[in-house]
Amino acid sequence: MHHEWEGTVVSLADDSFRARLRDLSGETPEEYADFSLASVSDDDIALVVPGAIFHWFVGYRIEASGQRGTWSGIRFRRLPRWGKRDLAALKQPSDLDEFFETK
């Protein structure tokens, strides 16, 4: 493995999606980029929605012929759904209340 980015889907088109990329090595500034939906596996395709998080790996692999080639892969994170208890917690008193008080 040579390089890895964490991506967030920001918009979706017919056959592609646009994403914000954060270089997990911290070496490079944030990037925005377009990816083809064809580069997403069938298992992950339903997960490609605005706000979805994925990891993009770029590296090298040795082909059967012995030659070295570039390789990249995209894996989407599988996140749990919001539940009743999670949403109720957002309505509980918090340390932000004092800043949002209205007189």
Partner 1 sequence: MNAQRKAPLAHEAEISVFGRGVGECVVVHLGDGAWMVVDSCIGERRAVALEYLELMGVPAAHVKLLVISHWDDDHIRGAAEIFESAPDATWVVSAALKTEEFKRLILAGRDPLTGTGTHEFDRLFGVLRSRKQGQRLESVGPRWVSEGTLLWETQQARVQVMAPSPATMTLAHNEIASLLPVEGEKRRVVTQGRNPLSVVLSVQFDGRSALLTGDLIASSNPETGWNGVLRALVSAPKAALVKIPHHGSVGAHHDGMWDTLLEPTPLAVTTTYNPSGLPTVSDRSRLRALARASYLTSTPGGTRSPHRSGDRTIRAVVPELRQVSAGAVSSVATRQRSNYSGRLS
**Residues in contact with partner 1 by the rule CB under 8 A:** 2-3, 8, 10, 13, 15-16, 18, 20-21, 23, 25, 27-39, 47, 49-53, 58-60, 70-72, 79-84, 86-87, 89-91, 94-100, 102
Cβ-contact 57, 49 below 8 angstroms? no
- Give the shortest CB-75-to-partner 1 separation in angstroms: 14
* Contact residues for 45 (Cβ-Cβ < 8 A; gap 6+): 37
- Give the shortest CB-31-to-partner 1 separation in angstroms: 6
